[in-house]
Structure 1
Amino acid sequence: MEEIFQQLYANGALLVMWGALLFHLLIPIPHTAHPVTLWHKFAEQLAYKVNNHHNHSQSLISGGLALMLMLLPCLVLLIAMKPLVWQGPLFELALLLIALDWRNNESLAKQLITAMSNEDKARSRSLLAPYLNRDTHTLSLLGIGKAGAETIIMGYGRNVVCVLFWYGLTGGIGALMYRLTTELSRAWSPSRRQFSPFGKPAIQLVAALEIIPLRLFALFITIGKNLSTVSSGMLQQAKSWPLPGPSWLLCAVGNKLQLSLGGPALYQGQRAERAKIGGRIAPSAIHLAQIQTLLVWRIFAWVVIQSLTLGFLYQGL
C-alpha cells in the first residue's frame, strides 16, 4: 500500500488532475467572475476595433491576425512563467482550475430543469442568454428544451472532456490554451453577421483541436444499450452537421435518449436552417435531467480511463 501511495505522489500529473477536479467541484469559480469570461469580453472589444465586416477578405485576414494576437502572447507568457514558479504542480493545478468548467454546466442544468418544470420561459431564456449566440427572447418551451440540451452537451464536452484531454497531452498550459481558444470561437462566432467571416479562423482551429476528444467521448456515449442503433444513427446524421467533433457528440446523445436536437435557429433576427438530428422526442425538463446523468457518469468513466492511461505512461517513463 505504501508503495502505491509513493507511486501516486511521484506521478504529479495525476495528483494535479484529481486535485483540480476536487477543488473545482468544492469551490467553483462563478461564471460572471471567471477569468475566461473576462477574456471573452476583451475578445469582443478587440473584434469591434479591428474587424472590417464590409470586406470579406480583409475581415478573414483580420480574424486570423486577431487570433494570433490573442493566443501567442498568452502562450509565450505561460511558457516563460513555468520555470519561475515555486512549485510546478501548483502552477499546473492553477491553470487546470481556470480551464475546467464542470460546476457552472451543472448549475445551468439544474436551474434550467427547475425553470422548465415550472414552465417559466422568461427565467429559462435569461439562463441561456449568456451561453448562446442565437436569439433567446423568442424561444418557445420546445426551443428552450433544444437549446438547453445542446448547451449542456457541448458545455460538458468542451469545458470538461476536451480540457482534460489536452491536459493529459500537453499539461496545464495546453488545457488553458484550448479553453481560451474555444472562448474566442464563441466570442467571434460567424453565426453572427458582424463576425462572418472574421471568426472563421478561430472556428477552424477549435474544430481541429476538439475533433479527437469529442469523437472519443461520443463513442463513450454510444456504449451500452442499443449500441448498434445509436452508432449507426450517429454516423448517418453527423454528416449533416457542420463541425465534425460536435456533430458526433450531439448525434450520439440525441440518438441515445431519442431526443430531437438541431433544427432552425434565429441569429439576430435571421432564421438559420440547421439539420434536425437525434430522435423524435422534444426535450423537456426530465430529459435535461437524463442528459445530465448520462454525461456525468460517462465523464467519471473518462476520468478513470485517463487516470489509468497517465499512470501507465508515467510508470513506463
Structure 2
Amino acid sequence: MVPEFTQQLLNDAPLYQGTLILFISLLLSKIAPLPRAVQPLVAFNYLAKEMANKVNHSNRSHSQQVIAGALSAILLVVPFWAIITFLLQLAAFPWFFEFLVLYICLNDENFNIVAEEVNRALNHKDKTRARKMLTPWLTRDTQELSDVGLSKATIEKLVTTPVYGTVASVLFFILGGAPLVLAARMLKQLELCWLPINPKFRYFSRPVYVLNTLVFALPTWLWNLSLAIQGGPKSLARLFKPVSLNGRIYHELQTCSIAASVLNIELGGPMKFNGVRVNTAKLSHGPLPEKGSIREAIKLARVSHAIWVGFVIVIPMIWAGLRYLQVS
C-alpha cells in the first residue's frame, strides 16, 4: 500500500508544487515585499499614465475616448504579457519564474505595513506624514484629507487590495497558472491607474472597467464573503445589496460597504481628483472612523487573509487524504 500511495503522490506532484509556489509567494509578499520604487508594476503604472496623457482627450467624443481606452489597454497589456508568457514556456525551471510572477503580482499586499504607519502617524497628529505615505498608493487627491478622510482612504485601500492580490492570485493560478494571474493583474493595474470614478477617465477607462468587472466578479464575491462572515448575519446580508455609483455597480464600493458593516463605521463619501469633487455613496454603518479603526481594519484583513492561506494549505492535504483512502 505504501509504494502505491507514494506513486500516487508522485503523480500529483504538479499539484503540490503549485501549492508550494503559492504558499511561499503569499508568505514572502507579506514578510519581505519589494520596495515600491523597484516594483515592475509601478513602472507599468507609469507607462499607463504616460499613455493616457497622450491619447485621452476630454474634447473628443465619448465613443472616441472609449476606443482610445480599449486600444491603449491592448497596446500596454498584450505585448508585455505575451513576452513574459513566452519566456515562461522556454524557462528551464518554470517553477521559479512562476513564483517570481506571483510574488510581483502580490506586492500590493504589503499595504498593511503602510496602513500601520499611517495609523501611527495619525496617533501622533502628523497628518503631513500620513498623507505622504498614502499618496503613492492612491490616484485621488490626498493633500486636503482630514484625519477622518485619511482613515477612510487607508481602510478602503486595505480591504480592497486582497481582491486583486491574494484571492485573484489563488483562483487564477489554479485555473490558468502564472500567465492568467499576470494578465488579470495587469488589467487591474490599468483600472487603478485610470480609476473610473475619476471624471478624467470616465469614458477612457470604461473598456478596462467592464472587463475587470467580469474577470474579478468571483474573486470579489469570495473576498467579500471572507469579510462578511466575521460580521455575522447583518454583514452577510450586504453581499446581496449592491452599491451603485451613478447608476453603475462599482465592485470596490461593495467591498467597502461590507467592511464598514463589519467594523461598524462609515466609509465612502466625496473624493477629489485633480481638484474636482466627486460624490460617491456614503457607506454609513456606524460612526466616523476613530483612533482605533485602522487597527481594527488591519485585524479584519489579516483574518481574511489567513482564511485564504489556510485554503491553499488544506486543499492539497485533503486531496492527499483522499488518495490515501483510495489505495488503503
Give a deviation string over 1:248-281, Cα, whole Å, max 9, x none.
3212111011110111112222221111114122
Which residue of the other structure, out of 195, 218, 243, is the alignment partner of 1:239?
243
SS at match of 1:282: coil
CA deviations on 1:231-256 (whole Å, 9 max, x unpaired) are 224533x3335445323321211101
> What TM-score does the superposition give when structure 2 sets the normalisation length?
0.87
Q: Which residue of 2 aligns with 1:176?
A: 182
In structure 2, the partner of 1:139 is: 145
Residues 265 and 273, structure 1, Cα contact 8 Å, conserved in 2:
yes
Among 12, 30, 37, which residue is 1:25 paired with? 30
Q: Give the conservation status (yes or no) of the 8 Å contact 1:9–1:15.
A: no
Judge conservation of contact 2:166–2:308 (CA < 8 Å) in 1.
no
Report the alpha carbon displacement of residue 312 of structure 1 after superposing the two structures with TM: 5.9
Superposition map of 1:1-317 within 5 A: 3=6, 10=14, 11-55=16-60, 56-101=62-107, 103-225=109-231, 227-236=232-241, 238-241=242-245, 242-309=248-315
1:218/1:194 Cα in 2 relative to 1: closer, same or farther (>3 Å)? closer
Equivalent pairs counted in the alignment come to 314
Relative to structure 1, the CA distance from residue 285 to residue 159 in structure 2 (aligned partners, 3 Å threshold; closer, same or farther) is: farther
Q: 1:188 to 1:103 in 2, by over 3 A?
A: closer
Q: Is the 8 A contact 2:270 2:279 kept in 1?
A: yes
Q: 1:192-230: per-residue Cα shift (whole Å, max 9, x none)?
A: 3433311111122222211111111111222145x2111
Distance of 1:288 and 1:122 partners within structure 2: 17
CA contact (8 A) 1:16 1:93 kept: yes
Query: TM-score, structure 1 length as denominator?
Result: 0.90
CA contact (8 A) 1:36 1:183 kept: yes
Distance 2:182 2:316 in 1: 19
Q: Is the 8 A contact 1:24 1:100 kept in 2?
A: yes
- Which sits farther off after the overlay, 301-310 or 29-38? 301-310
Aligned sequence identity (%): 24
Q: Structure 1 residues 41 and 277, CA, compared in 2 at 3 Å: closer, same or farther?
A: same
Provide the aligned C-alpha RMSD in A.
Answer: 2.5
Hey, what's the Cα distance between the residues in 2 that align with 1:127 and 1:192? Answer: 21
Segments of structure 2 that go 5 or more residues without pairing to the other structure are: 324-328
Contact 2:271–2:280 at 8 Å: present in 1 too? yes
Contact 1:264 1:273 in 2 (8 A): yes
CA distance in 2, matches of 1:278, 1:53: 34
Letter of the structure 2 residue corresponding to residue 17 of structure 1:
L
CA–CA distance in 1 between the matches of 2:108 and 2:198?
Answer: 27
* Runs (5+) with no aligned partner, structure 1: none
